[in-house]
Amino acid sequence: MNPLARLSNALPPGTKIVAVGTVVLGAASYVHLAVAGHSLSTADMAGVSVLWTIVMSVGMGLFFPLEQELTRIVAARAVHQEGAAPVLRRAALLTGGFLAAVVGLLAVFERPLADTFFHGDAQLVWALAGSFVGLALTFMTRGVLAGLGRFHAYGAQLAIDGGLRIVLALALGALGPHSALAFSLILAVSPLIAFALTLPVTVRASLPGPPISWPDLLRGFGPLIGSTLLAQMMVNAVVLSTQLLAPTEVALVAALLNALVLARVPLFVFAALQASLLSGLASVAATGDHGGFLRMLRKACLVVTVLSLCGAVPAVLIGPWLIRLLFAAPDVLTRFDFLWLSAGTLCYLLAQVLGQALIVLHRHRVQLASWLFGSAVLCGVTMLPGSIATRVTIAFAAGTAATALAMAWSLSRWGAPRPATGSARPATERVRTP
């Protein structure tokens, strides 16, 4: 068997199907930012860059945990032939309440947020709110679809979202208007349409089953939100740190975002693995298969290492030239900046894989502690003397490496799930009535 076939067979079931949608959504990010970079002024592009970064950091941090927890819960219920309809209903209520709180906070702090991040443009704050709504609703449905193994629908939602972003970005580039608001609203409109088109499939696939209590749904939610927020802040810290430390360096902010998007190509590919990996690990853990759990975890680490190396080589060799060609980025970064960004991407992906294992093992607080440790390392390195670009890129690599090492140490200490005795279900997955 050739190496590519062996690598493909190492992927969890469903990965290849989701990969198609992930490729479209990943390509959409490049097209969106590339067209915006060629259409907008440097100042307007800096506003879009910051908004895109906040959506991919704070938004992902707040709402991606919903997908992760729903995937884990629904996959465990599916092993025992229990329908997901009660979980979907509770998740919808939770999502609505969470969105009301987040959008309310954005309304209260509209002016300070506009002045700090968007050079006083309050319209971008509301574009940010719309993007958060789109993210929350798509993550809610994706969690149920992944847990049920409905990866065709999951991949379709990704592809619809990405395809719309590409079409809308190209239309704006060709026809106008060339404004930061117009390009920002793409992040709100596309996921909302994708959600609406795939919601019927999600509802039909969610069969009746035993009720789920709020404690069962929310048990690990707090630590998981903290972990995901820290993870997303870390992967986008090079842009956010530069914006806070040197807000007048708009050229550097735009170039760092373009470089980060290029260096994190493997992250877009990993998104295809992540949904099926969590579902697979949760299913294996629910049956108490210790050996299967460790094999799946080792294979996932191998896959992301190969992906990272494949992305790192071209990024380091031609990254500075490529972002100038693709995104019209200012010529302010070097190959060493891309080297640190690529190293950080590898460590970040390993931390993501190890974090999935900790979630399945119900060690949400251990995962949170690992991200806190890595964030402290990142902040410490960022505050060292030196050029801003060098500090923020090295800090990214150091912070992600510290996080991955902390998680690896935790897993080696506590191990994997042990086989269940008899036919008893794991206590953590028993369903209690409200």
Reported as a single tens digit per residue, the pLDDT across 279-305 is 778 778 777 777 888 888 888 899 889
Reported as a single tens digit per residue, the pLDDT across 332-367 is 888 999 999 999 999 999 999 999 889 888 888 999
Give the pLDDT score at 129.
96
Q: Who has greater pLDDT, 255 or 103?
A: 103
Of 258, 272, 390, give the one whose Cα is nearest residue 315.
258
Give the pLDDT score at 376.
96
Q: Who has greater pLDDT, 53 or 164?
A: 164
Where is average pLDDT lowest: 17-31, 196-210, 275-289?
Answer: 275-289
Residue 19, SS3?
A: helix
Give the pLDDT score at 367.
93
Give the pLDDT score at 178.
85
Pull the structure tokens for residue 314.
């071209």
Identify the band that residue 241 occupies on the pLDDT scale cut at 50, 70 and 90: confident
Contact between 329 and 37 (Cβ < 8 Å):
yes
Mean pLDDT computed over 142-159: 91
Reported as a single tens digit per residue, the pLDDT across 60-97 is 888 988 998 898 899 888 888 899 999 999 999 999 99
Can you tell me the distance from the alpha carbon of 426 to that of 286, in angstroms, rounded to the nearest whole number? 7
> Half-sphere exposure of 384 toward its Cβ, with a 13 Å CA cutoff?
15
What percent of the chain has pLDDT above 90? Answer: 44
Contact between 301 and 279 (Cβ < 8 Å):
no
Give the pLDDT score at 420.
40
Pull the structure tokens for residue 157.
């939602």
Reported as a single tens digit per residue, the pLDDT across 375-431 is 999 999 999 988 888 999 999 999 999 999 999 999 888 655 554 433 334 333 333
Contact between 383 and 357 (Cβ < 8 Å):
no
Q: Who has greater pLDDT, 193 or 75?
A: 193
Give the pLDDT score at 428.
35
Give the pLDDT score at 299.
87
pTM above 0.85, yes or no: no
Give the pLDDT score at 14.
59
Give the pLDDT score at 5.
54
CA-to-CA dists, residue 284 to 104, 230, 276, angstroms: 40, 28, 12
Give the pLDDT score at 393.
93
Give the pLDDT score at 1.
52
Contact between 106 and 129 (Cβ < 8 Å):
yes
CB neighbour list of residue 222: distance below 8 Å, 6 or more residues apart: none
Is 51 a residue whose pLDDT tops 90?
Answer: yes
Pull the structure tokens for residue 389.
């670009």
Where is average pLDDT lowest: 33-42, 262-271, 405-414?
Answer: 262-271
Give the pLDDT score at 7.
47
| Mean of all residue pLDDT scores within the chain | 86
